[in-house]
Structures are given as C-alpha cells and as structure tokens.
Amino acid sequence: MGRVMALDVGTKTIGVAVSDPLRLFARPLYTLSRQGVRRDCEELHKHVTAQDVDHLVVGLPLELDGSEGRSTRLARQIGAVMVELTGLPLTYIDERYSSVEAERHLLHADVSRARRKEVIDQAAAVVILQSFLEHGDWTQDG
C-alpha cells in the first residue's frame, strides 16, 4: 500500500500533504505557487512518483450552503488533470473549515504570524488528509 497525497487548492497556492506508508498520519510536504492547472499538475506529478503515492485526495472548498463556486471548480480541474496524468484513484473531501482548523492548530503550537502565513496551505492539506485517513473513503469520488 502506498501513500496518500492531499491537496488544498487555492487561487495562488496549493498546499500538499502526504501520509506515512501505513496511512496512519498526515504530514505537510510543501506549498506550490500556482502557475496554471497543467503546469501545477505536472509539478505535483513529480512528487506523486517520488513519494510512492497511490491515492489522491483533493479538498473541495464548498460554499457554506454546500453549493459549488469558482474555487470548487478550480479544485475539480486540478483533480481531473491529476487523474489524467497519474491514473490514480481520487477522493474529494469537503474542506470548508480546513483552513480555520489549520490556523487553530498553528496558533496552539505558538507558530509566529509570519510562519503561519508560509505554512497555512500545507497545514490545511494535513487537516484534509487526516480527515480522509481517519474516516476512510466516505466521501464523493472523482
């Protein structure tokens, strides 16, 4: 069994987290500065291979009422291209509150404001991934 990679897709960056090989824990990997869907996915694909990933998770930033907006469509575009490039299974997870939870964890860890800004997207990806690892494949697939 390989690792799981989670993506927190934003308009300017993508936070990336990966699981351990046993799929028990999520850890931050890096933050990718956006350069367009295709280029972003090609860069992410390198990390999929290097990290021995065999499942992808993408956070869906749904609106508070559960509807899909522009950001959700962008996350789905990234997911679709990642599946096209890798052939891996993909799970989407509702991530409406992942950034809030990530911020709370970073504040609790007494991370400075400047450092929080640098790692918030990675931390949100960790929240998304840990949710997937703890709750299993209970969400909507690709």
SS3 call for 77: helix
* Spatial separation of the C-alpha atoms in residues 110 and 23, rounded to whole Å: 27
Q: What is the pLDDT of residues 4-25, one digit of tens each?
A: 999 999 889 999 999 999 999 9
* Spatial separation of the C-alpha atoms in residues 38 and 67, rounded to whole Å: 25
Whether pTM > 0.85 for this model: the answer is no
DSSP β-bridge partners for residue 30: 16
Overall average pLDDT of the 114-122 stretch? 65
pLDDT at site 139: 43
From 109, 94, 137, select the one nearest 8 (Cα to Cα).
94
pLDDT at site 105: 61
Q: What is the pLDDT of residues 69-116, one digit of tens each?
A: 788 899 999 999 999 999 999 999 888 666 656 566 655 666 666 665
Residue type, 91: T
pLDDT at site 66: 74
Overall average pLDDT of the 22-41 stretch? 94
- Any idea of the CA torsion for 101, 96, 71, 49, to the nearest 10 degrees? 60
Check if the beta carbon of residue 56 is closer than 8 Å to that of residue 89: yes
Lowest-pLDDT range of 19-28, 37-46, 62-71, 77-86: 62-71
- Bigger pLDDT: 138 or 89? 89
DSSP β-bridge partners for residue 5: 18, 56
> What domains lie within the chain, and their CATH numbers?
3-135 (3.30.420.140)
90 phi/psi in degrees, rounded to 5 = -130, 135
pLDDT at site 70: 84
* Spatial separation of the C-alpha atoms in residues 69 and 66, rounded to whole Å: 9
Lowest-pLDDT range of 37-46, 86-95, 118-127: 118-127
